[in-house]
Amino acid sequence: MRLSRRTWLQSALAPAALGWAPARATAQTTVRHSSFDPWIEIRPDHVRHNVREVSRLVEGRPILAVIKNNAYGMGLLNMARILESETAVIGMAVVKLSEALELRDAGIAKPVLLMGPFDDAGLEAAVMRDVTPMVYTEVGDALDRLAARRQAAVPVQVCVDTGMGRVGVPHRQAAGLIADLAGRDGVDLAGTMTTLNEDPEFEKMQLQRFREVEESLARRGIAMGRRHAASSYGLFDNPPAYLDAVRPGMALFGQYSTQRFRELDLLDLRPSMSLKARVALVKKLEPGDTAGYEAAYRADGEVWIATVPAGHVDGVPRVAANGGWVKIRETRYPIIASVSASHTIVEVGPEKTVEAGDVATYFDWRDGSRPEDASAASGASVYDLVMHLNPTLPRRLVA
């Protein structure tokens, strides 16, 4: 039978004819990640140590652990499961509704505070899954309706804006809103919070405004519930902000927000994660050879370079080429050229001292290669370094 032009084209351009057909699945096909893919290692023992350190500093005050944004790179459920058994931790706080519900789906039983915005459907979803909403608008009627459905008062926490300006009921109107909520049978005022702006002098005024709201309510016989204001930053800079509980995030993961805090020696924080990959390729450049986009690196003489398959999509800051390094076999090698989406190139030197397959560490928990050290080397923020780690990377718990 003679093939028509259309039949011939359909046959010739079929995926199998072009070599695009998917491989047949077999019982042995179980590999999901290449051994060269980057990965993150997590130290639960370091997290627990950091919890004890924070508890010691704040003299036993309860800790509301902020695990927003995929737990600062740790992985939301990894961190939640570690903290679930810590008696000093009274609950966990997130910003996105999806993260709050993910915690409940995973069986996390401790209180969860949703600090982010929500619409009517989101409020209902949160309340019906025992997630405490942070409120700062007139939502009393909606809360009463939800209380009637669940046949129990709805716990809420009120956010007071004392000068941060981001979210919260303005401090001048806060007493009125809180009084309205506290007077409803369908509402359980579990706590009141504010966010400090990390300017020590301004924070004094913020705390004064917060106290004025409290005093106004006290004259009416209304309690604010558990009060909290101090973040990881406030642990170091503002002991008066400890109030009834503290609200750290970064400190629990083992990072110091600033070098100044690290030097204060108030907390012995241990980093709880590392970013690693394996060297994929080692090769020699001749004088004048180039590497990186726009020939960002040019060899002055014979030099060996190594390619590590982790880039800015994985969480390596693009600015890491401005002084950053990767540790291979306990030696630091400078990052050169430019950090691309999936690769980093390092200069090995005139001798071939590394091999393909060697483990390359971008940061870990050892002094000299902590996240703070890696970020400072290139001028990146430690927040950017850990919070932008790709959530799809494998995360391995290690001792």
Domain annotation covers residue 329: yes
Domain annotation covers residue 190: yes
Transcribe 276-316 into DSSP letters: EEE--EEEEEPTT-EESGGG-EE-SSSEEEEEES--TTTT-
pLDDT at 286 over 70: yes
Region 257-263 average pLDDT: 94
What pLDDT shows up at residue 33? 77
Q: With bands split at pLDDT 50, 70 and 90, how would you rate the model's confidence at 17?
A: very low
Domain annotation covers residue 98: yes
Same domain, 60 and 127: yes
Same domain, 248 and 277: no
Confirm if 369 and 301 have CB atoms less than 8 A apart.
Answer: no
Region 252-278 average pLDDT: 96
For the chain, give the mean pLDDT: 93
Condensed to tens digits (0 to 9), the pLDDT of residues 52-92 reads 999 999 999 999 999 999 999 999 999 999 999 999 999 99
Region 184-191 average pLDDT: 98
Domain annotation covers residue 13: no
Condensed to tens digits (0 to 9), the pLDDT of residues 159-187 reads 999 999 999 999 999 999 999 999 999 99
Same domain, 308 and 357: yes
pTM of the model: 0.90
Same domain, 248 and 316: no
Same domain, 224 and 287: no
Write out the two tokens for 360.
Answer: 């390359």
Q: What is the CATH number of the domain that holds 311?
A: 2.40.37.10
Please give the Cα distance from 51 to 90 (Å, whole number). Answer: 12
What pLDDT shows up at residue 9? 45
Same domain, 101 and 154: yes
pLDDT at 205 over 80: yes
pLDDT at 362 over 80: yes
Same domain, 337 and 222: no
Closest CA to 324 of 385, 258, 278, 387: 385
Q: Name the 3-class secondary structure at 357.
A: coil
pLDDT at 23 over 60: no
Q: With bands split at pLDDT 50, 70 and 90, how would you rate the model's confidence at 263?
A: very high
Same domain, 238 and 282: no
- Residues of the chain with pLDDT > 90, as a percent, come to 90
Domain annotation covers residue 134: yes
Q: Name the 3-class secondary structure at 319.
A: helix
What pLDDT shows up at residue 32? 72
pLDDT at 133 over 60: yes
β-sheet bridge partners, residue 306: 282, 346
| Host domain of residue 277 | 273-397
Region 207-224 average pLDDT: 98
Same domain, 227 and 120: yes
Q: What is the CATH number of the domain that holds 174?
A: 3.20.20.10
HSE (side-chain half, CA atoms, 13 Å) at 379 = 5
Domain annotation covers residue 3: no
Please give the Cα distance from 222 to 136 (Å, whole number). Answer: 17
Condensed to tens digits (0 to 9), the pLDDT of residues 226-256 reads 999 999 999 999 999 999 999 999 999 999 9
Strand ordering across the sheet containing 39-42: 281-285, 303-308, 344-349, 331-336, 325-328, 359-363, 273-278, 39-42, 395-397
Domain annotation covers residue 320: yes
Same domain, 365 and 239: no
Q: With bands split at pLDDT 50, 70 and 90, how would you rate the model's confidence at 15?
A: very low
What pLDDT shows up at residue 30? 66
Boundary of a domain, candidates 252, 285, 317: 252
Region 324-335 average pLDDT: 97
| Sequence-ordered strand ranges (E) for the chain | 39-42, 63-66, 89-94, 112-114, 131-135, 154-161, 169-170, 187-194, 226-228, 273-278, 281-285, 290-291, 297-298, 303-308, 325-328, 331-336, 344-349, 359-363, 395-397
Q: Please tell me the total count of domains within the chain.
A: 2
Same domain, 294 and 369: yes
First-to-last alpha carbon distance for the chain, in angstroms, is 68
Same domain, 299 and 243: no
Confirm if 331 and 351 have CB atoms less than 8 A apart.
Answer: no
Domain annotation covers residue 26: no
